[in-house]
Amino acid sequence: MKYDLSEINNIIENRRTIYPELFSSRKVHKEQIDRLLMNATWAPSHGMTQPWRFKVFMNDGLKKLSKYQSELYQTIIAEDDFNEMKFEKLINRPILSSAVVAICMQRQKSKKIPEIEEIEAVACAVQNILLTATAYGLAVHWSSGWPTYRSETKQFLNIQSADRCLGFLYIGYPADEWPSGQRKPIEYVTDWINE
């Protein structure tokens, strides 16, 4: 065995979504965020396009994100569709976090690589972030909720129209016990073809 497999198995199995409402006030350091992003960049990408781009909100940047998404929601959503709980989350979740990373995909200029593969590469990069965060004992919530896919968000994040925002990673320390998870056994998700 080249590496300690039990360690990586534990990290993979214990990676959990933990929401900002369950974060403690303990702050995550910039150096930890640097490491998450460095590990992200070791993901595979077809043609080595390395399409991942990150926009990191920390300190007063978190207030800027909170203001952006809550004000846009207030402006755009019709009165009948306005959801107070959603609005409160848009305000509060960035403030409850130590950092929020907007996950972006930069579209290749030549568009030779299919877009889906560029998105897949970014998802691999995100998994590296999630696993590294788990190793640090950090809580992360990947949100692809409002306003991820809005064109205004591309402007806010300063990305091109061919690029994509794939969500926001809310990062902090968990306040309580680490949650457990459950998965279908591999028999449910696998066909073996032997002949």
Ligand X SMILES: Cc1cc2nc3c(=O)[nH]c(=O)nc-3n(C[C@H](O)[C@H](O)[C@H](O)COP(=O)(O)O)c2cc1C
CB of 142 to ligand X, least distance (A): 4
Stretch that binds ligand X, among 23-31, 84-92, 113-121, 142-150 (CB under 6 A): 142-150
Burial of residue 46, with CB atoms counted within 10 A of its CB: 0-12 exposed, 13-18 middle, 19 or more buried: middle
Rounded to a whole number of angstroms, the minimum distance from the CB of residue 143 to ligand X is: 4
CA distances to 40, 52, 53, 113, 115 from 109, in Å = 22, 14, 15, 10, 11
Strands 99-105 and 164-172: antiparallel
For residue 153, the minimal CB distance to ligand X (Å) is: 14
Q: Determine how many CB atoms are found less than 10 A away from the CB of residue 176.
A: 10
Q: Which of 150, 188, 143, 189 is nearest to 169 (CA)?
A: 143
Binding mask 76-95 for ligand X (x = CB under 6 A): --------------------
Q: Is the dihedral of CA 158, 26, 14, 178 positive or negative?
A: negative
Please identify, using beta-carbon distances, which residue of 181 and 185 lies nearer to ligand X.
181
84-96 and 60-76 helices cross at what angle (nearest 10)? 170
Q: What is the C-alpha separation between 32 and 184, in angstroms, rounded?
A: 32
Using CB under 6 A as the binding rule, whether residue 68 contacts ligand X is answered as no
Q: By CB under 6 A, name the one of 17, 24, 59, 155 that touches ligand X.
A: 17
By CB under 6 A, tell whether 45 contacts ligand X.
no
Binder to ligand X among 41, 144, 155, 158 (CB under 6 A)? 144
Residues numbered 150 to 189 that lie near ligand X (CB under 6 A) are: 167, 181
Instruction: Give the range of 5-13, 24-32, 36-44, 136-144 binding ligand X by CB under 6 A.
Output: 136-144
Where along the sequence are the contacts to ligand X (CB under 6 A)?
16-17, 142-145, 167, 181
